[in-house]
Amino acid sequence: MTDSRELTQKNKIKALDLEKYFKEENILISEESFGSAKPSINNYLYFEQKYNNAIFFCIGDNLNKDFLTQNKLNWTTICLLDKEINIHKQSFSINSEYLPHYKIANMKELLKLI
């Protein structure tokens, strides 16, 4: 699941070639699919109900909204560290409920965690 403008997110999904890793039915843009944005808990409960007893991961870069709800749901949260090009600047001096469990510098590091 991703958040933000539909066209922007669809372009991002295509650029990252995510369709070869995920079924189309599992690539959802929250505002388009649910009518709500992160960190709405209903967006994440959808996947918990659809895939009962699965292990869930969240990979993001926006500390203000990418990990709060998933941490409450006990998902494994992973932050892709900013290389000084992100729209949302990362400051890890925030309340711990917003912080990810892990930080990675690149997607290769992700493979070690999943």
pTM of the model: 0.84
Provide the pLDDT for residue 24. 86
Provide the pLDDT for residue 84. 79
- CATH number for the segment(s) 6-113: 3.40.50.1000
3 state SS for 41-107: HHHHHHHHHHCCCCCCEEEECCCCCCCHHHHHCCCEEEEECCCCCCCCCCCCCCCHHHCCCEEECCH
Sheet holding 57-60, edge to edge: 57-60, 76-80, 102-104
Residue 103: CA count within 13 A, CB half-sphere? 10
Provide the pLDDT for residue 92. 92
Provide the pLDDT for residue 9. 87
Indicate the domain borders of the chain. 6-113
Provide the pLDDT for residue 105. 93
Give per-10-residue mean pLDDT for the chain (114 aa): 82 87 87 81 92 94 92 96 81 94 92 87
Provide the pLDDT for residue 68. 95
* φ, ψ for residue 75, nearest 5 deg: -80, 160
For residue 11, how far is the Cα from the chain centroid? 16
